[in-house]
């Protein structure tokens, strides 16, 4: 049995860890609330944008014919963009994504040379740079997701796509379900999928267009839609990250508490044993003197 | 009281206003576009400018930087790229931005076309913000 002093030290160490994880949990909770709020604030626009485009597409076939919606017969060059976090200690948030990407690359080994992997998030970048040469990390999106940055990135993507450099853009990210549930999702961003009018509550299809003329208007809307999709995915991933960290730290704090309880039990038993032993010795000594 | 209709002023980052209004004026591609209740359906792109709306008799101004507006029987939906109400505008920053853009544009002969249009857009944004900021004073 370890000595009393050892157990005491151990308990103290676990207590220190518990304090840290508890603090991290609170920070993550605060950040999570902010990230969740950002997602909620962004949803009305995304919903309206989608609805507008869907109702336009139902009346104007030019939408479906837009170059950004054109499905390529053969996918040779693909951009795979992996969203992870910049920091760790968020449970399996990053490893889940990384594992799924590894599987994807293995499953598509025959066209592996055509797949260009990029990351958003240092965790994914540090992992993949070990065995993927020339990988680059897209910065300036995670810490403070801004729509402006998403627009820039979407324009870059659209340019690569329409010029024929790539045939598809896929994003891998943790879809935000709730604070405790994140689901790794592969999402094809380009070619864009035409939003369907299914579940559309507003039946007023848009058959009347105004300035500055149909092609320009449709083109602008499609491009904004792309940027908005990208922006929403980043927001969701960030919210998932803080949610995952919050529950990971909550678990760690609970485990530390349990461990302290168990160690305290061992400690008390050991202390009791020492007292009993000392008593026995005294009694034994007294008996011997009598004799 | 005038007839009202529903206005939704949304940006990708947040919703700014949602409620009944009596009138909306948006900076459309081909000029200002005023909308009252019962307006015909239309969709238009917006240029950077001031969005005005009248809610319970009070006129509000918001600096917007382009986007779309859809007028439908259900109301008006503005999908702006950015939108700032007067109280959020940093007047000094806008003023500084205006002067910087003006100074750079003074030497426009030395600049390429792309740079000039970028600076002009910046100047337009700054003027726009100043206009909205001053409207609330």
Considering its fold, how many domains does chain B have in total?
2
What is the band of A200 on the pLDDT scale with cuts at 50, 70, 90? low
pLDDT at A167 over 90: yes
Say whether both B13 and B80 belong to one domain: yes
Within an 8 Å CB–CB cutoff, is residue B32 touching chain A? no
pTM to 2 decimals?
0.88
Burial A114-134 (b: 16+ CB within 10 A, else e): ebbbbbbbbbbbebbeeeeee
Say whether both B15 and B76 belong to one domain: yes
Q: For A212, which of B11, B29, B67 is closest by C-beta distance?
A: B29
- pLDDT tens digits, one per residue of A13-49: 999 999 999 999 999 999 999 999 999 999 999 999 9
Walk me through the domains of chain A, giving residue ranges and CATH numbers.
4-21+249-284 (no CATH), 22-247 (3.40.1380.10)
In this complex, do A48 and B13 lie within 8 Å of one another by their Cβ atoms? no
Say whether both B94 and B73 belong to one domain: no
Q: What is the CATH number of the domain that holds B16?
A: 2.60.15.10
Q: What is the mean pLDDT of residues A150-160?
A: 93
Say whether both B76 and B22 belong to one domain: yes
Within an 8 Å CB–CB cutoff, is residue B19 touching chain A? no
Residue B125: list chain A partners with CB under 8 A: none
- Please list the alpha-helical segments (H only) found in chain B: 91-106, 113-135
Q: Which of B65, B84, B103 is the last residue of a domain?
A: B84
Say whether both B45 and B12 belong to one domain: yes
A21-35, A40-54, A157-171, A203-217: range with lowest mean pLDDT: A203-217
Say whether both B75 and B60 belong to one domain: yes
Calculate the alpha carbon distances from A63 to A66, A104, A226, A249, A269 in Å.
5, 31, 13, 46, 75
pLDDT at position A215: 84
Structural domain that includes position B24: 5-84
Contact B115, B45 (CB under 8 A): no
* Catalytic residue list contains A90: yes
Q: Which of B41, B62, B84 is the last residue of a domain?
A: B84
pLDDT at B17 over 80: yes
Calculate the alpha carbon distances from B116 to B50, B64, B94 in Å.
23, 21, 19
Q: What is the ipTM of this complex?
A: 0.86
Candidates A37, A44, A218, partner chain B, best to mutate (most B CBs within 10 A): A44
pLDDT at A135 over 70: yes
């Amino acid at each position: 049995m370890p000595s009393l002093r050892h157990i005491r030290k151990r308990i103290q160490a676990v207590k220190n860890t518990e304090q840290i994880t508890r603090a991290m949990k609170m920070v993550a909770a605060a950040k999570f609330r902010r990230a969740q709020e950002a997602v909620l604030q962004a949803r009305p626009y995304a919903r309206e944008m989608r609805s507008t485009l869907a109702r336009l597409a139902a009346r104007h076939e030019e939408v479906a014919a837009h170059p950004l919606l054109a499905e390529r017969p053969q996918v040779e060059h693909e951009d795979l963009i992996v969203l992870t976090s910049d920091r760790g200690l968020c449970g399996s948030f990053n490893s889940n994504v990384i594992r799924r990407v590894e599987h994807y690359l293995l499953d598509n080994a025959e066209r592996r040379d055509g797949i260009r992997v990029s990351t958003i998030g240092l965790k994914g970048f540090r992992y993949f740079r070990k065995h993927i040469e020339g990988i680059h990390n897209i910065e300036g999106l995670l810490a403070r997701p801004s729509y402006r940055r998403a627009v820039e990135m979407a324009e870059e993507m659209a340019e690569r796509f329409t010029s024929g450099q790539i045939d598809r853009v896929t994003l891998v990210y943790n879809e935000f379900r709730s604070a405790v549930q994140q689901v790794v999702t592969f999402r094809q961003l380009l070619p864009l999928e035409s939003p369907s009018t299914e579940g559309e509550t507003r039946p007023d299809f848009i058959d009347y267009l105004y300035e500055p003329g149909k092609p320009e208007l449709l083109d602008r809307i499609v491009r904004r839609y792309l940027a908005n999709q990208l922006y929403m995915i980043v927001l969701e991933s960030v919210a998932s990250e803080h949610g995952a960290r919050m529950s990971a730290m909550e678990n760690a704090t609970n485990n530390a508490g349990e461990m302290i309880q168990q160690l305290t039990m061992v400690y008390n038993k050991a202390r009791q044993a020492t007292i009993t032993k000392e008593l026995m010795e005294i009694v034994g000594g007294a008996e011997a003197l009598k004799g | 009281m005038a007839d009202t209709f529903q206005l939704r002023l949304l940006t990708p980052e947040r919703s700014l206003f949602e409620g009944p209004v009596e009138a909306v004026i948006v900076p459309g591609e081909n000029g200002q576009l005023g909308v009252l209740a019962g307006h015909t359906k239309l969709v238009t792109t917006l240029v950077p400018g001031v969005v005005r709306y009248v809610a319970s008799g009070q006129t509000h101004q918001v600096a917007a930087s382009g986007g779309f507006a859809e007028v439908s029987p259900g109301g008006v939906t503005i999908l702006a790229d950015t939108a700032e109400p007067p109280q959020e505008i940093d007047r000094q920053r806008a003023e500084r931005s205006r002067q910087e853009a003006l100074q750079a544009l003074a030497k426009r002969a030395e600049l390429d076309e792309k740079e000039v249009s970028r600076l002009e857009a910046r100047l337009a944004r700054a003027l726009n913000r100043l206009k909205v900021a001053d409207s609330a004073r």
